[in-house]
Structure 1
Amino acid sequence: MKHLPLSSSASTTPISTNLSILSTSKTYNIHALIMDSFCSHALSIAVNLNIPGYYFYTSGAGILAYFLYLLTMHKTTTKSFKDLNTLLDIPGLPPISTSDTPKPLLNRNEKIYENILECSVSMVKSAGIIVNTFESLEPRVIKAISDGLCVLEGPTPPIYCLGPLIAPSSNERSGVEEAVPECLRWLDLQPSGSVVLLCFGSLGVFSMEQLKEIVIGLERSGLRFLWVVRNPPTQEHSLAVTAQPEPDLDLLLPSGFLDRTKERGLVVKSWAPQVAVLNHDSVGGFVTHLGWNSVMEAVCTGVPMVAWPLYAEQKLNRVILVEEIRIALPMNESENGFVSATEVEKQVRELMDSKEGNSIRARTTHVQNDAKATVREGGSSLVALAKLVESWKPC
């Protein structure tokens, strides 16, 4: 079976043209079209060509449940989420505050809200949904979705939990051994499980004021840390959506901080090999923005988290990971999203040295073992993959 790259741009014309040509070709036999969850218009093309269309949902089952239940929530009120002050009762999930709603969904009168709602409706009409999670990680919400509790108008398509799906590092892909980064050499010198990693994905950035609070909190904590720092956001972009110059740590961080913490801390400019760092024996905790790829990496390496959401669906992930899966502590922010130095200090200490932190650590190790089991022979993710492939075969 050949996998063919097709355009996934906003325009569906390239997809339609390519599929039309390939569907009549004697060289290729198209069994299915798999599309990103926001390429909803591509489903109609697959249907017109009598090709089963599947969505690949890159977040977890908890966020999928929220997404599928969106139409029901939309019909129960005429107000926008931003104007509500209530808890949302979504099947399979803990109560979700409307304040944790992803920003694009806050105002129902905006076009982006309408587009996301259309995606939700389209997804229900697909032949199936592939999800980057595994059954034992989110059993309650996976059952709720499978039982049809999240889609009240019509049947729910089958879901295939194939996770954890983690991209290999660049040297694993190329087979070329690369020089060991400084941060990994530094970790080699640290005691086992003693270091807190602070890393916030490819887009996460902080203001100068917030960076200073992190500095104070880390210094007061007395803990060992590895912190990836980027330049603050610009007036044009609140996230690191464009290439950035290398940060000047002497300008960004308070005077003397690097010298005072040089025996127990390392600040890395812009980027670190996150998977390799999380796999290192010295790392015992992870302060993260809760992007789902980072969550999966932490799960697979058995590293407990402090949940500091920044954008997209990450506030919802915090609720799920803290209250439902119980492998993270929450970083609590003010109404304007600011986190104090006291909160930074408190949560990293709690994670690394407290009864609750030890409980989360043990739970994370248990989940890590489950993750490994899912991809062994007879594991739930391999079974789901076999079912997915079987569904592609003609009747």
Structure 2
Amino acid sequence: MVKRSVVLYPGLGVGHLTPMVELAKAFLHHGAAVTVALVEPPTKSPDFSAAVARAAASNPSVTFHVLPPPPPAPAGPSGSGGGTSPAHHVVVMLYHLKAMVAPLRDFLRSLPAVDALVLDMFCGDALDVAAELKLPVFYFYASGAGDLAVFLNVGRTSTSTAFAELGDSLVSFPGAPPFKASDLPKEFSEGSPGAKPILGALHRLPEADGILVNTFESLEARAVRALREGLCVPDRSTPPVYCIGPLVSGSGEKEHECLRWLDKQPESSVVFLSFGSLGTFPKKQLEEIAIGLEKSGQRFLWVVRSPRDLEDMSSQPLPEPDLDALLPEGFLGRTKDTGLVLKSWAPQGDVLRHRATGAFVTHCGWNSTLEGITAGLPLLCWPLYAEQRMNKVFIVEVMKLGVEMKGYDEELVKAEEVETKVRWVMESQGGQALRDRVAEVKGRAIEAIEEEGSSHAAFVEFLKDLDTMNLP
């Protein structure tokens, strides 16, 4: 039997590459040959280069190919930020991905065989390449089914300012509970220049031959049902939706100092605080977190990054944080027996799965959310950007696997809130009930990806459908 050959196209950013590498592993498991076609960021990024090097070293059976840069753009192209004011980061990203269509087409033509092209949600311009080359094309939606249900609806919206006028009014979509319009990504809720191109990308989602979603059915049954019944794209047919998750990162650096520190802590006693690759806070917020942690008396492991304006979503690396300057005077000394503060990075998957970790304060990025769930940890939800506020709604109200850290939408979570919620999740009966529920869902997550599980079956179904499309 001829081996299937698939090309994965993850778009820009480490957060999009990481889940696509996990998808590559799933294809390998089912006997396919996998190539990942990578786009170099518009601005050279050491973080990107390091992530690609790590991914390639850890997955020798996957071919990683960095596409050549596009031809130089004419001066000041419309919407690309060529004018006098800097463009919105989403505008820059989507313009860059549009310019990569020609290099992607040339690369696909150079391959001896391609049975399918799998795209990131922001790579809609590649649909035209697939159509030209007569390739089956699928999206890999790396966030949850609830987000997908909402975004398919939002993608039918004709105006980029429609939601900005609603403020905190409730909006309702099939597959989701009612939530505040301000919980939509800021590009929509504030009507920023990024809204129109994002709407354009969302509008193209139904054009694919199918959508692979990094979730499992029992976690998001309501949203999956709405998707399958076609309620989220009322004016055209919805492509098949395959729930194939949870796809989460494997082990990292077993020798990291924080893992040795965790080895010395009691079981389920440590609160882990980490806010993703772009999650940073100003000094004032870091001080409030520190005060709250100290007053809680709980053990903690906290990843601190140097402050950056949240409007700056660039991939430029931050300088190493000066902890003495950013945190309250004497904090590190006073908490040295109960806490550990790490600069910039931790091997998150290993920390979450460590026996000593008991709760996870998270920005609600979907990769982190799934890692927390599959580690069986209750989630303290502190969303920052993108679709994370929507994820918080689903985690707290639908999945019931976490609680909200109040104040994040008022620009400051107070020390009292940090202290109260950390104590609650670690000491109270309510916290224990939450822990029990997450443990149950962790079991269902493991079952989903095992042989005969729902996600394993969905991937097999997807491959059968793909084979049918490739019949002469």
Superposition TM-score, scaled by structure 1 size: 0.91
What residue identity is the alignment partner of 1:18? F
What's the % identity of the aligned pairs?
45
Q: Structure 1: how far apart are the matches of 2:119 and 2:278?
A: 23
Change (3 A) 1:329 1:240: farther
Aligned residue for 2:37, secondary structure, equals: coil
Aligned residue for 1:227, secondary structure, equals: strand
Q: Structure 2: how far apart are the matches of 1:190 and 1:5?
A: 40
* 2:154 pairs with 1:70: yes
Displacement of 1:78 in angstroms is 8.6
* 2:332 pairs with 1:258: yes
The answer to whether the Cα contact below 8 Å between 2:269 and 2:356 also exists between their aligned partners in 1 is yes
1:196-242: CA deviations, max 9, x gaps? 001111111110100110011111111111111111115x9645732
Q: Structure 1: how far apart are the matches of 2:195 and 2:115?
A: 32
* 2:217 pairs with 1:135: yes
* 2:460 pairs with 1:392: no
Displacement of 1:137 in angstroms is 0.9
| Aligned residue in 2 for 1:18 | 107
* 2:264 pairs with 1:233: no
Displacement of 1:167 in angstroms is 2.4
What residue identity is the alignment partner of 1:6? A
Displacement of 1:334 in angstroms is 5.7
| Aligned residue in 2 for 1:33 | 117
Aligned residue for 1:69, secondary structure, equals: helix
The answer to whether the Cα contact below 8 Å between 1:148 and 1:155 also exists between their aligned partners in 2 is yes
Displacement of 1:251 in angstroms is 1.1
Q: Structure 2: how far apart are the matches of 1:41 and 1:193?
A: 46
| Aligned residue in 2 for 1:105 | 188
Aligned residue for 1:54, secondary structure, equals: strand
What residue identity is the alignment partner of 2:117? L
The answer to whether the Cα contact below 8 Å between 1:307 and 1:329 also exists between their aligned partners in 2 is yes
* 2:359 pairs with 1:270: no
1:296-320: CA deviations, max 9, x gaps? 1111110111000011110000000
| Aligned residue in 2 for 1:285 | 359
The answer to whether the Cα contact below 8 Å between 2:376 and 2:438 also exists between their aligned partners in 1 is yes
Q: Structure 1: how far apart are the matches of 2:339 and 2:110?
A: 57
Change (3 A) 1:272 1:78: closer
CA RMSD of aligned residues (A): 1.9
Q: Structure 2: how far apart are the matches of 1:86 and 1:206?
A: 27
What residue ranges of structure 1 are gaps of 5+ in the alignment? 172-177
* 2:296 pairs with 1:207: no
Displacement of 1:377 in angstroms is 1.0
| Aligned residue in 2 for 1:322 | 396
Q: Structure 1: how far apart are the matches of 2:358 and 2:332?
A: 21
What residue ranges of structure 2 are gaps of 5+ in the alignment? 6-33, 40-96
The answer to whether the Cα contact below 8 Å between 2:183 and 2:189 also exists between their aligned partners in 1 is no
Displacement of 1:4 in angstroms is 3.3
What residue identity is the alignment partner of 2:135? I
Aligned residue for 1:10, secondary structure, equals: helix
Q: Structure 1: how far apart are the matches of 2:392 and 2:455?
A: 24
- Superposition map of 1:112-131 within 5 A: 112-131=194-213
Q: Structure 1: how far apart are the matches of 2:161 and 2:376?
A: 41
Q: Structure 2: how far apart are the matches of 1:4 and 1:120?
A: 25
The equivalent position to 2:143 in structure 1, one of 40, 59, 74, is 59
- Superposition map of 1:168-187 within 5 A: 168-170=250-252, 180-187=255-262
The answer to whether the Cα contact below 8 Å between 1:160 and 1:388 also exists between their aligned partners in 2 is yes
Q: Structure 1: how far apart are the matches of 2:235 and 2:169?
A: 24
What residue identity is the alignment partner of 1:82? A
The answer to whether the Cα contact below 8 Å between 2:116 and 2:138 also exists between their aligned partners in 1 is yes
Q: Structure 2: how far apart are the matches of 1:102 and 1:157?
A: 24
The answer to whether the Cα contact below 8 Å between 1:69 and 1:151 also exists between their aligned partners in 2 is yes
Q: Structure 1: how far apart are the matches of 2:409 and 2:376?
A: 31
* 2:450 pairs with 1:361: no
What residue identity is the alignment partner of 1:367? V
Q: Structure 2: how far apart are the matches of 1:83 and 1:343?
A: 30
Alignment size in residue pairs: 379
What residue identity is the alignment partner of 2:275? F
Q: Structure 2: how far apart are the matches of 1:327 and 1:127?
A: 33
1:102-130: CA deviations, max 9, x gaps? 0122355x542121112122111110001
Q: Structure 1: how far apart are the matches of 2:404 and 2:456?
A: 32
Q: Structure 1: how far apart are the matches of 2:314 and 2:270?
A: 26
Q: Structure 1: how far apart are the matches of 2:117 and 2:308?
A: 38
Superposition TM-score, scaled by structure 2 size: 0.77
Change (3 A) 1:334 1:163: closer
* Greater relative contact order (CA < 8 Å, ≥ 6 in sequence): 1
Displacement of 1:140 in angstroms is 0.9
1:75-96: CA deviations, max 9, x gaps? 5x89532221311111121111
Q: Structure 2: how far apart are the matches of 1:118 and 1:307?
A: 29
What residue identity is the alignment partner of 2:210? G
Aligned residue for 1:136, secondary structure, equals: helix
The equivalent position to 2:241 in structure 1, one of 144, 147, 159, is 159
Displacement of 1:7 in angstroms is 5.2
Q: Structure 1: how far apart are the matches of 2:344 and 2:409?
A: 28
